[in-house]
Amino acid sequence: MSAKILDGKWVRDQIFADLKPRIASLKRPPGLAVVLVGDDPASQIYVRNKVKACADLGIYSEKITPPADLTTKDLLAIINDLNQRPEIDGILVQSPLPKHIDHRAVLVSVAADKDADGFHPFNVGCLVANIPAARACTPAGIMEMLRRYEIPVAGKNAVVIGRSDIVGKPMALLLLHANATVTICHSKTAGLADEARRADILVAAIGKPELVDGNFIKPGATVIDVGMNRIPSDIAGKTRVVGDVKAEDAQRQASAYTPVPGGVGPLTIGMLMSNTVAAAERHLCST
């Protein structure tokens, strides 16, 4: 029997449906500013999708596109201006940034109450303490998927492969807060496949194409594939997108899994919109 496919687009649409009445009840539209430095093609696609989602939901969006050669000081000035504007509830600085930009300085310059990504150290601290605040979008979206597909988390063994600040660490904390027993693995973990095979819920977010094969997957596990890797295709000069999990092995051994593309990706935008609406509700409640 093949595994159930967990459809990220369906979950995203459910999130959007829940957001629409909340947006309609506000005194003004929520506002999201997206800062895209330079002209990275992949980033342009991601930003275009985010702006489209805002338009579909009735969220005001503003795209700021400074050149790739701007200085850290110039970028901080742009962010400081957005911090001061009351109609902007959420600020997203699209990564990756050019190498000469001080990424950490940019991260902490976004006002914590306007941090649409959930990356600000204050919001990360709130996550650790399990205090309501903006959560990192991809892990929060995965938790929404597990909830909406009624996949039990409490009491389950969860293994997260990857320890990034964007996915791995916040994912582990969210699973822990949901009463899973959590193991974090990474590139230096000894016996990685053995550790992964203990998981009832396996989250692969290590950025290595199809690293996770059948040896990593416990029969009947739920497999969440966060990877988005471009590799050469059989057609000369073309590439194809694969995850961190070998899809055919997940289909054969898991009880449920997320496809790539169409699994985790749509959840990220869904939770970005959710973070922006929540920020607008807080701002308008306090005025």
The pLDDT confidence band at residue 287, using thresholds 50, 70 and 90, is low
Task: Verify whether residue 94 is a known catalytic residue.
Answer: yes
Q: Which of 112, 129, 150 is the last residue of a domain?
A: 112
Residue 252, burial from CB neighbour count under 10 angstroms (0-12, 13-18, 19+): middle
**Domain of 78, in residue numbers:** 28-112
d(CA 53, CA 19): 12
Let me know if 50 is a catalytic residue: yes
pLDDT tens-digit map of 133-165: 999 999 999 999 999 999 999 999 999 999 999
The answer to whether residues 81 and 62 touch, using CB atoms and an 8 Å cutoff, is: no
Alpha-carbon span 275 to 139, nearest angstrom: 13
Report the range of poorest mean pLDDT among 41-55, 107-121, 123-137, 155-169.
41-55
DSSP labels for 119-157? -SHHHHHHHHTT-SS---HHHHHHHHHHHHTT---TT-E
pTM for the structure as a whole: 0.95
**Would 131 be classed as within a structural domain?**
no
Residue 79: inside a domain, yes or no? yes
Beta strands in 15-122 (DSSP E): 31-35, 60-64, 90-93
* One domain, residues 144 and 257: yes
Verify that 99 and 141 share a domain, yes or no: no
Domain membership of residue 73 (yes or no) is yes
Report pLDDT digits (tens) over 225-250.
Answer: 999 988 887 777 788 889 999 999 99
Q: Which of 112, 127, 157 is the last residue of a domain?
A: 112
Tell me whether residue 130 is in a domain. no
The answer to whether residue 71 scores a pLDDT higher than 80 is yes
- What pLDDT sits at residue 235? 73
CA–CA distance, 119 with 137 (Å, rounded to integer): 9
63: domain CATH number is 3.40.50.10860
Do residues 145 and 190 both lie within one domain?
A: yes
Are residues 180 and 105 part of one domain? Answer: no
Bigger pLDDT: 198 vs 2: 198
Closest CA relative to residue 47, chosen from 57, 58, 32? 32
CATH of the domain at 218: 3.40.50.720
Q: Which of 50, 156, 169, 218 is catalytic?
A: 50
Q: Please tell me whether residues 76 and 141 are part of one structural domain.
A: no
pLDDT tens figures, 211-220: 999 999 999 9
Same domain? For 167 and 100 the reply is: no
How many domains, in total, are found in the chain?
A: 2
Q: What is the mean pLDDT of residues 199-204?
A: 98
In a domain, 3, yes or no: no
Taking alpha carbons only, the member of 69, 54, 68, 90 closest to residue 79 is 90
Q: Is residue 273 part of a domain?
A: no
For residue 178, what is the DSSP state?
A: T
Domain co-membership, 151 together with 239: yes
Tell me whether residue 212 is in a domain.
yes
Q: Are residues 58 and 101 in the same domain?
A: yes
Q: What is the dihedral of CA 195, 197, 198, 200, to 10 degrees?
A: 130
- In the set 117, 200, 225, 244, the catalytic residue is 117
Among 89, 94, 114, 156, the active-site one is 94
Q: Are strands 239-242 and 229-232 parallel, antiparallel or unpaired?
A: antiparallel
Asked whether residue 161 falls in the same domain as residue 240, the answer is yes
Asked, for residue 270, whether it belongs to a domain, the answer is: no
- pLDDT tens-digit map of 75-93: 999 999 999 999 999 999 9
Q: What is the pLDDT of residue 236?
A: 72
Is 4 one of the catalytic residues? no
Structure tokens at 131: 């205090």
Residue 261 and residue 170 in one domain: yes
One domain, residues 96 and 178? no
- In this structure, the answer to whether residues 237 and 181 fall within a common structural domain is yes
Local confidence band at 18 (pLDDT 50, 70, 90 cut-offs): very high
